[in-house]
Amino acid sequence: MCSWDALNAEIVACRRCPRLVAYRERVAQTKRAAFREWDYWGKPVPNFGDSSARLLVVGLAPAAHGGNRTGRIFTGDASGDFLFEALYRTGFCNQPTSTRRDDGLTLYEVAMTAAVHCAPPDNRPMPEEKANCFPYLVRTYRLMPSLRGFLALGQLAFEACLRLAQQEDLLPNGARCVFRHGAIYELRDGKFLAVSYHPSARNTYTKLLTMEMMTELLRRVRARLYEQEPGGG
C-alpha cells in the first residue's frame, strides 16, 4: 500500500495536465514584483498534515502566487491568512499565520488537500484537469484511518468531496446534499461533510464569509470530531 509520503511525492511529480504544467511553471519564472526574490515552488502542491488526522480540509487549488510560490497549500496568500487565523482561534493549529513551508506551523487533528493540486489560470480548472486530480483525493482519503469528517471550502471542493462520498459508498440512501455555507451532512460510518464558502479575498472582503461565520462552523466541526467515538458508548 502506498504511504502518505509516497503519495505526496507522486503528487509533486505529476505532469498529467499540460495546460496547468505550462501555467504553473510560467508563473514561477515571471513571478510577481513583490516576490521577485522568491524561488517559486512551481510544481503541484502536496497534502499538508499527516494521515492520522481526523479532519480533511479540501480546498480548490493553489493560488498562483500563494501555494504555487511557497509549496504549501493555503500558504502565502489572503485565503490562507484568513483560514489559518480561523483554525488557530478554534484550536486546529499552533499559530495564526502561514507564510512559508518552514515557518513552524503545525496542524492539530487536521490534514489539508485540494481538489486540484496545480495553480489553474483564473482559478478555474477544466473538467479534465479536475478528473485527473480526483484519484489523488481518493487515495488521500483511503490513507486516513482515523478520518471522521471533511470540510469542503468552496463549491468545487464540495463537488469533489461529494463525488468521493458517492464513489466510496459514504452517502446514505436518499441523501440530498447541496452547497450551502454552514451545512453539515451525515455520511456513513459516523463520518460527516461540512461545507463552507471559500475563504477567497473576494468572499472575505465582501463579507460573504466573515471570521465569525468561519469560526462558528469550525467549532461545530470540532465538536463533531469527538462525539460518538467509534466503539464508545
Q: 216 is in which domain, residue-wise?
A: 4-226
Contact present, 137 and 160 (Cβ < 8 Å): yes
CATH number for the domain that contains residue 133: 3.40.470.10
89 part of a folded domain = yes
User: How far apart (Å, rounded) are the C-alpha atoms in residues 198 and 155?
Assistant: 8
99 part of a folded domain = yes
pLDDT in tens, the chain (233 residues): 579 999 999 999 999 999 999 999 999 999 999 999 999 999 999 999 999 999 999 999 999 999 999 999 999 999 999 999 999 999 999 999 999 999 999 999 999 999 999 999 999 999 999 999 999 999 999 999 999 999 999 999 999 999 999 999 999 988 899 999 999 999 999 999 999 999 999 999 999 999 999 999 999 999 999 885 544 43
Domains in the chain, number: 1
Q: What pLDDT is attached to residue 233?
A: 36
202 part of a folded domain = yes
pTM score, whole prediction: 0.95
68 part of a folded domain = yes
109 part of a folded domain = yes
Q: What pLDDT is attached to residue 232?
A: 42
Q: What pLDDT is attached to residue 53?
A: 98
Residues 6+ apart with CB under 8 A from 43: 12, 13, 24, 71, 118
233 part of a folded domain = no
